[in-house]
A and B are shown apart, each in its own frame.
Chain A
Amino acid sequence: MCRRALWLLCAGLLFSASLGCYQCFVDVEESLRLCWGHILTEYNVRNVDACFQMLDRIFNNNQSVIEAGRVGKGYDQQLKEILDAEILSVVEEFSNQLNNDSVYEERLQTAADNFIAAASKLPRVSGCVPPCGVQSEGAVYNCITCQFDSCEFPLDCPVTEMNVTQYSSSRMWCQVPFQLPRDLEVIWRFAEKVKTQQVDQFKEVTVGVDRLYSIPSTRLQNQGTYQCEIFSGQRSIVRLYYYLAVTPQVVAGHTELQETFDLSLLPGGRLLPAPGGPPPQPPLLPSPLLLAACLTAVLLLLFLSLGTLYFLTVPERESDCEEQAHGDEGLAS
C-alpha cells in the first residue's frame, strides 16, 4: 500500500511535466543529455526516469520558479535565455559522465536558485483583471500553457445601476481597472427606458475621446441604459454599461415653485398679503408744505435762469447800435 502510494506520487511527478517554465524553454534532447549519467544510488542503476522526476520537482513544481517566470509581454525570450544558460552549464558539466543523484540534486538546485534570482529582476505586469475586457497589456507568461495569458474576458461588462432624482445631475465614467492603449476612441450609446446589453437597441450619442458622460439636469426621458465602448484602432476593447434609474421629483415641491412663479406676475409687483398679517397701508404721499417748498425752489431757479440769459444778451445789442451809427455818418460825408 505504501509502495503503491509512493509510486502514484512518483507517477504524478513524472507526468506533471506540464507545469513550470522548464518544459517551455528547455528542449527534450538537452534534458536527455543532462540525465544520461544519473545514478540512482539506492539501487546503483543508471536511471533516467528518476532524473526527470527530480527536474520536475526542482523546476516545474517549484512555486518560486513558477512565480519568477510570470513576466510581462516581450520578456519571455529573456526568460528562455536565462534558463537555457543555467541548464546548458549543467549539461556541459555532466556530459558523458556518471554522477550520483545527490550530485544532481545539489547542482540542479543551484541552477534553479540562479534562475529565480535572475528572472525576478525582469519587469512585472499587473496581470489579468476580471471580469471583462481585452487586456493585452496585462498579459502574464503562463508556464503551464507555455504562452501569455490572453486575458480574453468578455467584451461586455456587467451592468452598473445608478439611481438619481429628477432634475439632479448625473455622471458616468468610462473607466476600467486595467491599463489601456494610448490610441483610444470612445463611443457613448443610449437605449431609452430599458435595461439591456443588446447592442442593436442602442443609438449612438457621441464619438470621441471623452470618457465622461454628464447630464446636468436629469429628466425622466434620460432613464435607460448607457453604453460606453472603447476602441483601439479598429478593435473593440471593452464595453461598459450603466442603467440610469430616474426618480420623479415630488409634486409639493413643484406646486411651491409654480406658486412663486405666479406671484411674480402680479400687477405692480405687489405680493399677496400673508394670512393673519396687518391690513394693507394706503400709498404714501408727500405733505403740502413740502410740495410748496419744492414749487418755490423750482420757480426761483427758473427766474434766475431767465435773468442770467437777459444780462448775457444786452452787450450784444449795444454793440450792434454803435455799428449802425457809424455807418450813417459815413454816408452823410
Chain B
Amino acid sequence: MSRLLFAAAWCVCLLPSLLCGNLLCFYRPLTEKEKAFQPTLTECPPNELCFTADGRYGNHSALSAQGCVAAGDCSRVLSTRFKGTAYATRYACCDWSYCNSCPGAAAASLSITVTLTTVALMGGDLWSF
C-alpha cells in the first residue's frame, strides 16, 4: 500500500514528463490583473513548463501573465517595464497540462506531492508496526 502511494506521489511529479505530447498551458500576455478576458491555450516546446507570473510594484500585485517558460528559469525574478513603469515579476511553474490556470498552480502541485508522500510514509509506518 505504501509503495502504491509512493508511486502515486512520484507520478504526480513525473507523469507529465513521461507522456509523449508537449504541455498544454493557458496563455495570457502581461496585463493588468483587473483586466478580464478569456485566456487561450498554448502548446509548449520541449523542455518548457507552464507558468504564472506575478508583476509587483512594491507590495502591490498589479500585473499577471501565463504561458510557457524554460524550466531552468522558473525561480528567477525579472524586472519588467509596463507602460513606462518597472515591475518585479516572479514566476511560478508547473509541469502538467492546464496547471497554470490559477496563481497557486505550483503551490498546488507541491502540496499534492507532499501530501501523498506523507500518507505513503505514514502508511509504511503503520504496516511496519
| Interface residues, chain A, with chain B CB atoms under 8 Å away | 3-4, 7-8, 11-12, 14-19, 23, 28-29, 31-32, 35-36, 40, 42-43, 45-49, 52, 142, 144-146
Chain B residue at minimum C-beta to C-beta distance from A11: B78
- In the bound complex, residues from chain A placing their C-beta under 8 Å from that of B67 are 14, 48-49
- In the bound complex, residues from chain A placing their C-beta under 8 Å from that of B84 are 18, 142, 144-145
Q: Do A29 and B73 contact each other (CB < 8 Å), given the known contacts A14-B30, A45-B22, A46-B42?
A: no
Among the listed stretches B8-16, B43-51, B100-108, B110-118, which one makes contact with chain A, having 4 or more residues with CB under 8 Å of it? B43-51
Q: Do A45 and B81 contact each other (CB < 8 Å), given the known contacts A15-B30, A17-B29?
A: no
> Is B83's beta carbon under 8 Å from chain A?
yes
Contact (Cβ within 8 A) B29 A28: yes
Q: Do A16 and B37 contact each other (CB < 8 Å), given the known contacts A47-B43, A49-B42?
A: no
Q: Chain B: interface secondary structure?
A: strand
- Which of A8, A11, A144 meets B83, CB within 8 Å? A144
- In the bound complex, residues from chain B placing their C-beta under 8 Å from that of A35 are 40
Q: Do A45 and B29 contact each other (CB < 8 Å), given the known contacts A3-B70, A7-B73, A29-B37?
A: no
Number of chain B residues whose Cβ lies closer than 8 Å to a Cβ of chain A: 32
> Is B58's beta carbon under 8 Å from chain A?
no
- Determine the distance from Cα of A17 to Cα of B31 in the docked complex, in whole angstroms: 9
- In the bound complex, residues from chain B placing their C-beta under 8 Å from that of A31 are 29
- Determine the distance from Cα of A28 to Cα of B82 in the docked complex, in whole angstroms: 14
- In the bound complex, residues from chain A placing their C-beta under 8 Å from that of B22 are 43, 45
- In the bound complex, residues from chain B placing their C-beta under 8 Å from that of A18 are 80-85
- In the bound complex, residues from chain A placing their C-beta under 8 Å from that of B40 are 32, 35-36, 48
Sampled A-B contacts (17; CB under 8 Å): A12-B78, A14-B30, A14-B65, A16-B81, A28-B31, A28-B35, A31-B29, A32-B37, A32-B40, A40-B45, A43-B46, A47-B44, A47-B45, A47-B68, A49-B68, A144-B83, A145-B84
